[in-house]
Amino acid sequence: MINAQSSLRLALLVGLLVSIVSIAVAEPEVAEETVIFRALRDGVFTVFTDRGHGSAFLVDESGLLLTNSHVIASSSQISVQLDDTTRVSAELVAEDTLLDIAVLAVSPQVVRGRPILTLATREAGDLAFEGEEVIAIGGPLNPMRILTSGTVSKVEDRAIISDVDISPGNSGGPLINTDSEVIGINTFRDPLLGGAGVSGSLPISLAIPFLEMGRGWAQGVAPPATRLPVVPPHPYPAKGLEWAGKRSHIEDNYVVHGVPGFEVNIVTPPRRHFLETYIQGALAEEQQDHETEVGTDEDELYDPLGDDLREWREYVGDFAPLVGIAVTPKIGETDASSFLNLLGTAAGVATAVSGPVSVSFGYDAYEFQGDLQDFKLLEDDRPVQGVYRIMGTMPVPVETWSDYKDDIVHHGVFQYLPEVFGAPDSEQLHFRIVDLKNPTTEIDVKIPRKCLEQIAVDFEPYRMMLDARKTELVVGREER
C-alpha cells in the first residue's frame, strides 16, 4: 500500500510535471503594441495617386478617411487599397494644404465591418507626453501595412515629435497611443539625421474641426464601389528573370515608334532586369580590367551582378508582374539653335550636350517637343483600367550666354496587368496621349505587334509558374 507520505510525494511530483509541461506549451506573451496593431490594421489603407503612394485611415462609417494633403497633391486620380485584393476609387472632399490635411471619401459599402479608428479629443498639448510609447501603422512597402513603434520625444502645438520610423509610404497614417486612440497623423521626418531619425506627426486636434467640415462637404459624394485591379499575389519568379532576360535584348521590340513629341517604351520585369545587368556590367568592366592588370584572380574579380537576384526584392516591388508603358517627352533642337550649332561646329567650338543640358550662343539649344498631360490605354474605345500610374516632372537646365534656366515638363509610367495585352495579333489595343503643348489634339497610337509578341515572351516564366501552382492545387485536392 501507498502510505500518506508516499501519496504526498507522488502528488507533488505530478504537480511539478504538470507545471513543467504547462510552461513548455504556454504561448508567448503578446506585446501590447501587437494587440493594438491587429485590432486596427484593417482600418488603415494605402492611397495611390499620380505622384506615388501613402497611407490613410478610416474615421467614419460613411467612408471618410484622413490623410496628408501632400499624399494626394496634384493628382487627377486617387484610389485606395483596403487589402491585398480590394482597391477602389476615392474622392477628395476637403483639403488644407497649409495644415497638410486631407479628407477622402470611399464607398461606405467597401468599408462596412472594418474598424473605425477612435480620435483623441484633447487639446494638442494634452494629446501625449514625453516618454510615452506610441505606434504607427502605414504602408511603406509593396504595399503591405506594417507596425513601427517608438517614444514621444516632444509635444508641440503643431507637431508630436517621436523616434517612430516614418518612411515615405507611412505619410498620412495614424499615430496611436496605448489606449488605441489616434493622437496624430504621421507626416514628416528629418532626412538629414542618420538611421530612422526624428519624425513628426500632426496633432489630431488640428484635423477634427476640418473633419467635421468634410462630413458636410461629403454629402452627395458617392465614389463607386467598383473593384480596381491590384498587383497579383504571386510575384514574377526570380529564377525566370534570367531566362526571359536573355530574350529581352532587342530594344526595338520595346519601343513604340511614331509618337509625335514623345518617346514611348514598354517595360517588363525581364526587360528591367536586362537593363540593370547591362548597365552594371558596363560599369564593372573597367574595374575588372584594372584588377586583372594587378593580378587579381579571376574568381575574385568585382562582380556587381552576383548578388543581383534576391527573392526579398519582391517586397519592394521589383518583381511585380506588371507591364509598364513609359512616356517621356522628346528633346529636340530648335530651328535657331540647329543653325547656330552648325556654325559653332564649323568654327571648331565644342557644343556639349550631356543628357538634357545644352550650350548655345545665347539661345536655348534644345527644347522639349511634348509635355504629358494625360495618358489612356484603350481596347477599341473602352478605357483599360491600370494598376498604377505615376506622373512626374522632369527639370532640364539649359545654359545660355548669361545664365542657366530650368525647363520643366511632365512624364509618366503607367502599369497594367499582363493579361491586358492579350494575344500578339490583337488589333484593338491602342493608347491616347494629351500633350499640354497641343491639348486640343489627342495623339492616338496602336500598340505594335512586335511589342505584344515580346510581352508574351517575357511573361512565359510567369505563366508557367501559375500553371504549376494550379496543378499543385488540383493534386492536393485529389489527395485529400
Q: For residue range 54-96, what is the model confidence (pLDDT) as tens digits?
A: 999 999 999 999 999 999 987 889 999 999 899 999 999 889 9
pLDDT at 247: 86
Domain final residue pick, 187, 217, 247: 217
Q: State the CATH number of the domain containing residue 124.
A: 2.40.10.120
Q: How confident is the model at residue 274 (pLDDT cuts 50, 70, 90)?
A: confident
Same domain, 84 and 162: yes
The dihedral sign for the CA sequence 119, 123, 124, 127? negative
Q: How confident is the model at residue 342 (pLDDT cuts 50, 70, 90)?
A: very low
Same domain, 245 and 189: no
Same domain, 264 and 208: no
Instruction: Tell me, yes or no, whether 223 lies in a domain.
Output: no
Residue 416 forms beta bridges with which residues? Answer: 323
- What is d(CA 90, CA 218) in angstroms, rounded to the nearest whole number? 12
Same domain, 137 and 53: yes
Same domain, 127 and 165: yes
**Cβ 124 vs Cβ 206: under 8 Å:** yes
| DSSP notation for 245-307 | HTT---GGGGEE---TTEEEEEE-HHHHHHHHHHHHHHHHHHHHHHHHHTT--GGGS--TTTT
Instruction: Tell me, yes or no, whether 134 lies in a domain.
Output: yes
pLDDT at 366: 58
pLDDT at 59: 96
Q: Residues 111-127: what's their mean pLDDT?
A: 93
pLDDT at 351: 32
DSSP secondary structure letter of residue 90:
-
Give the domain range for residue 304.
238-330+369-466
Residue 315, CB-side half-sphere exposure with 13 Å CA sphere = 9
Instruction: Tell me, yes or no, whether 175 lies in a domain.
Output: yes
| Model confidence at 305: pLDDT above 90 | no
Same domain, 158 and 306: no
Same domain, 312 and 459: yes
Same domain, 111 and 247: no
Same domain, 169 and 274: no
- What is d(CA 370, CA 313) in angstroms, rounded to the nearest whole number? 34
Instruction: Tell me, yes or no, whether 107 lies in a domain.
Output: yes
In tens, the pLDDT along 159-176 reads: 999 999 887 788 999 999
pLDDT at 335: 46
Instruction: Tell me, yes or no, whether 48 lies in a domain.
Output: yes
| Model confidence at 15: pLDDT above 60 | no
Would you call 6 helix, strand, or coil by DSSP? helix
Instruction: Please state the domain count of the chain.
Output: 2
Residue 444, CB-side half-sphere exposure with 13 Å CA sphere = 9
Residues 6+ apart with CB under 8 A from 203: 124, 127, 157, 158, 159, 160, 183, 184
Other residues' Cβ atoms within 10 Å of the Cβ of residue 58:
24
pLDDT at 78: 95
